[in-house]
Each structure stands twice: as structure tokens, then as C-alpha cells.
């Protein structure tokens, strides 16, 4: 199922087609396809070319690893993620490698790498859904994340599934039109509060 954005101004088709569904097919994603997603992430821009992103990935064919990530998810997300064949946790290195100083752009840059990954997933016929709903401390402990690294988001990836498999409330959300706030609500000219026309 595709649900392209109804844009006010023309944008690239790949951007319009990217969305975050909850219905996944159980079909496994080939290892080379996953590597392609990470190759896309690798080429994201970053402050001082630091490349602070790290990804912990688990696939359904490695059940112990997949369950370890799944168990970190909030119960509401577990209800629909159960069929997703790939789970990924994005993690940001919060300090620069050269001097150990805080990298205040680390989460931003990790988000850029994640968006590259997600757009490549869309281009590859996959879908991706990013989640903030996970237990941060459980992820730190269970996934052995060292200090100085910040878990950012959990990401479910796979092939699109049938919305009919979802519980009714989630199915309704899956099928309703996508929406976004108008550009004029969040874009300012020259200073905060001066809205662009």
C-alpha cells in the first residue's frame, strides 16, 4: 500500500512516497538490501565529518537478537512491530573522537543518516517506521551501549503489509490520509515569529 503525500508544492517523488506504516509483511529482507540501506546512511552529512551514528540491527532470522531489540519497545509499539523482519536502534556518539568534547550536533547528524537509510528503504520497495517509544535504560543495558553514546530511535523495516492485520484503532490510523502543518506555521523570515507569507 502506498500513501503519497499531498504536497502544496512539488517535491521529489521519493520524498512524497516515504511514510511510516505499521503493517509489515513477514518476508525477510536480504542481507545485501540491508547493506544498501547502511551504505545510504554512510553518506549522510555530519558536523566535521564526524559520522557520529551507530546502528544496532537485528533480523527475524536471528531470533535472539531480534527479541532483544523487540523487548525494549513500548507495549503499544510491540503490538504492530511483531511482524517487522528488521529492527534497528540508531545511536549517537555524543563526543568528538579527536578531542572528546561534546558534539551538540550528534543527534541531528544521526537523524540525517537515519533519513538517508529510510529514503533508501523507500527506493528499495521497503517501508520504515521510526519510534521514540522504547525503554532507553533497558536498551542501554541489554544492548551493551557504552557511556558517551545516546540511543536515539528504534526503526522497524520490512516490506509493506496488509493494513487488515492491524487492530482496529491502528488500522484506522493506517488508512486515513497523511497530513502536515502548513509551511507558514513553522517557517519564519529573518527572526523568530515573523512568518513567511
Give the architecture (CATH level 2) of 14-166. Answer: 3-Layer(aba) Sandwich (3.40)
Give CA–CA dist 87/80, Å, rounded: 12
pLDDT at 9 over 80: yes
Query: Which residues make Cβ contacts (< 8 Å) with residue 17, sequence separation at least 6?
Result: 2, 4, 5, 122
Terminal C-alpha separation, the chain? 35
Q: Which three cell numbers stand for residue 35?
A: 547493506
Nearest to 44 by CA among 109, 106, 123, 121: 109
pLDDT band at 3 (very low <50, low <70, confident <90, very high): confident
Sketch the domain layout of the chain as residue ranges.
Answer: 14-166
pLDDT at residue 57, as a whole number: 98
**Taking the model in full, what pTM does it have?**
0.93
- Tens digit of each residue's pLDDT (9 = 90 or more) over 181-195: 999 999 999 999 999
pLDDT band at 33 (very low <50, low <70, confident <90, very high): very high
Coil/strand/helix, residue 54: strand
Query: Which residues make Cβ contacts (< 8 Å) with residue 187, sequence separation at least 6?
Result: 195, 196
CA atoms within 13 A on the CB side of 162: 2
Q: Print burial letters for 160-180: b (CB count within 10 Å at least 16), e (below 16).
A: bbebebbeeebbeebeeeeee
pLDDT at 115 over 80: yes
Amino acid at each position: 500500500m502506498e500513501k503519497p503525500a499531498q504536497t502544496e508544492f512539488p517535491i521529489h517523488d521519493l520524498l512524497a512516497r516515504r511514510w511510516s506504516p505499521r503493517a509489515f509483511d513477514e518476508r525477510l529482507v536480504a542481507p545485501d538490501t540491508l547493506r544498501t540501506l547502511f551504505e545510504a546512511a554512510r553518506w549522510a552529512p555530519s558536523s566535521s565529518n564526524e559520522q557520529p551514528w551507530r546502528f544496532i540491527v537485528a533480523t527475524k532470522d536471528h531470533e535472539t537478537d531480534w527479541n532483544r531489540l523487540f523487548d525494549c519497545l513500548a507495549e503499544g509499539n510491540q503490538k504492530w512491530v511483531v511482524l517487522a523482519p528488521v529492527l534497528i536502534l540508531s545511536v549517537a556518539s555524543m563526543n568528538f573522537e579527536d578531542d572528546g568534547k561534546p558534539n551538540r550536533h550528534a543527534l541531528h547528524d544521526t537523524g540525517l543518516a537515519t533519513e538517508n537509510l529510510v529514503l533508501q528503504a523507500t527506493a528499495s520497495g521497503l517501508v520504515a517506521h521510526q519510534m521514540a517509544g522504547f525503554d532507553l535504560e533497558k536498551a542501554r543495558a541489554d544492548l551493551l551501549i557504552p557511556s558517551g553514546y545516546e540511543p536515539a530511535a528504534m526503526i522497524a523495516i520490512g516490506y509493506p503489509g496488509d493494513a487488515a492485520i492491524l487492530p482496529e484503532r491502528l488500522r484506522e490510523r493506517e488508512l486515513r490520509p497523511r497530513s502536515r502543518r502548513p509551511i507558514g506555521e513553522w517557517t519564519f523570515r529573518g527572526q523568530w515569529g515573523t512568518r513567511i507569507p
